Amino acid sequence: MTIQSVDVLYTAVATAENGRDGRVASDDGKLDVVVNPPKELGGSGAGTNPEQLFAAGYSACFQSALGVVARREGADITGSRVTARVGLGKTAGGGFGLTVELAVSIPAVDAATAHDLVEKAHQVCPYSNATRGNIAVELTVV
């Protein structure tokens, strides 16, 4: 796989302290959250976790990519929503891996148009481009 060349327009910076049971903050102070493992993984569940943060970022980014594609196609995505479900589990090699399901609702268009827009957004979205070929990403139109 060839590494994609990118003309960087913005760089986000965040620092974690104490990993999954600590704190994550951005350098500009706009993000400062406590992170804890979820109860399902034996943690307290008191704070957010990296998978929730990834789901939030991916869903927001995909929604924006959908907007880019809709403008190009002249499609109405009024009322659309993107829900990301990020799964964490063990890999066959003994490490850990992620899965993603993106559930997309675009009520202003027919099902065929919605599927087309979602597939095209998946080619535009930076998160989709970063994960492609690395983790399973399931696209669902709801």
CATH 3.30.300.20 domain span(s) along the chain: 50-141
Residue with tokens 């696209």: 139
CATH 2.20.25.10 domain span(s) along the chain: 1-48
Whole-number mean pLDDT of the chain? 96
pLDDT in tens, 33-42: 999 999 999 9
Can you count the helices (H) and strands (E) in the chain? 3, 6
> Which one has a higher pLDDT value, 32 or 1?
32
Indicate the pairing of strand 96-105 with strand 136-141.
parallel
Beta bridge partners of 138: 101
Rounded mean pLDDT, 108-113: 98
Fold classification of 50-141 is GMP Synthetase; Chain A, domain 3 (3.30.300)
The DSSP code for 78 is: T
Fold classification of 1-48 is N-terminal domain of TfIIb (2.20.25)
The DSSP code for 48 is: B
Residue with tokens 């609702």: 105
Cβ-proximal residues to 103 (8 Å cutoff; 6+ apart), any chain: 82, 83, 84, 85, 140, 142
pLDDT level of residue 53 (50, 70, 90 thresholds):
very high
pLDDT at 17: 97
Among 41, 30, 33, smallest CA distance to 88 is for 41
pLDDT level of residue 1 (50, 70, 90 thresholds):
low
Rounded mean pLDDT, 5-25: 96
The vertex-97 CA angle with 125 and 106, nearest 5°, equals 35
pLDDT over 70 at 6, yes or no: yes
What does residue 141 show for φ and ψ, rounded to 5 degrees? -100, 125
pLDDT over 80 at 2, yes or no: no
Quote the percentage of the chain above a pLDDT of 90: 96
pLDDT over 80 at 67, yes or no: yes
The identity of residue 64, as a single letter, is: S
pLDDT over 70 at 12, yes or no: yes
pLDDT at 11: 96
Rounded mean pLDDT, 70-89: 98
